[in-house]
Amino acid sequence: MSEDTKTLMLTQREIDLVLECIGTNIETVKRRHPMTGSTADLIQELGEMDMDIREQAFRDDGWEVNTFTIAEDDMIQRGMDAREQAKINKVAAASRAQARRDFNMKRQNKNLSKTQIHDVWDANDPKNW
C-alpha cells in the first residue's frame, strides 16, 4: 500500500457517486468471483476506502465532542427514567396482586368450602407483618 496521499476537491454529489461506485463494485466482486484470499482482501480494502471517505466527508471536528456529551447526558437520563419506571411498575404490580387477592377473597360463593375460601397468602401479606 502506498503512503502517498493526495487531496481532492469534490462536490457532495461527486462524493455520493464515488461511494455508490465503491458499494456497487463490492457487490459485483462478491457476486462474480469466488471468495478467495485476494478477493477477500479486495473487498476489505474497498470497504475500508468507503469508510475512510465517509469519515473525511462527513466529519465536523466540533461535532464529535458535542455529540458525546449529548449522548452521555441522554444515557444518564434514560437510566434515571428506567429506574423510575421500574419503581412505578413494582408498585403497580403489588397493587394488582392485592386487588386480585381481595377480589378472590370477597367472592361470596356458597358452593366453596371453608378450605377453598381460606386465604393462604394472608399470613405472607406485608400488611400483616
Tens digit of each residue's pLDDT (9 = 90 or more) over 42-84 = 999 999 999 988 888 877 665 554 555 667 777 888 888 888 8
Q: Report which of residues 128 and 64 the model is more confident about.
A: 128
Domain ranges in the chain are 11-59, 61-107
Q: What is the pLDDT, as a whole number, of residue 80?
A: 86
Q: Report which of residues 90 and 124 the model is more confident about.
A: 90
The answer, yes or no, to whether residue 29 has pLDDT greater than 60, is yes
Q: What is the pLDDT, as a whole number, of residue 129?
A: 58
List Cα–Cα distances, 80 to 67, 75, 92, 106, in angstroms.
Answer: 20, 9, 18, 39
- In the three-class reduction of DSSP (H, G, I as helix; E, B as strand; rest coil), residue 61 is classed as helix
Q: What is the pLDDT, as a whole number, of residue 110?
A: 58
- In the three-class reduction of DSSP (H, G, I as helix; E, B as strand; rest coil), residue 3 is classed as coil
Q: Report which of residues 7 and 62 the model is more confident about.
A: 7
Measured torsion, CA atoms of residues 36, 38, 43, 45, in degrees rounded to the nearest 10: 150
Tens digit of each residue's pLDDT (9 = 90 or more) over 77-111 = 888 888 888 887 777 777 777 777 777 666 555 57
